[in-house]
Amino acid sequence: MQPTSKPKKPRATRKNYGIKKDSIIRLTDKASTAKFRGNRGLFFQHLKSCNGRSVEEFLKKTTKDGGDPPRGWLRFFIQEKICTLSGGIDQKKVA
């Protein structure tokens, strides 16, 4: 008797969180005292190197096959008030 496999659920589309690719990343004062380890630390180093650059440059620098989506990390740093985006966020796409 062969095991029957359940049909896979369709995967939800990934959110872009309304982040505009031409927005400029600006680190806040909180970034100077922030310390992260592991993947957060790695993405934080990339974020610091992209200070004053566009979101698109950050995404190009951090995107790799099979890895964590960088827009989720960017959203994390925005929510923690480590950085801000000048150019803003498209409010229509924010859930």
Q: Considering the entire predicted model, what is its pTM?
A: 0.73
Confidence class for position 77, pLDDT limits 50, 70, 90: very high
CB 20 within 8 A of CB 55: yes
Confidence class for position 70, pLDDT limits 50, 70, 90: confident
Q: Mean pLDDT lowest for which of 26-30, 77-81, 88-92?
A: 88-92
- Is the CA virtual torsion 76, 62, 28, 20 positive or negative? negative
pLDDT in tens, 13-45: 666 678 888 899 999 999 999 999 998 999 999
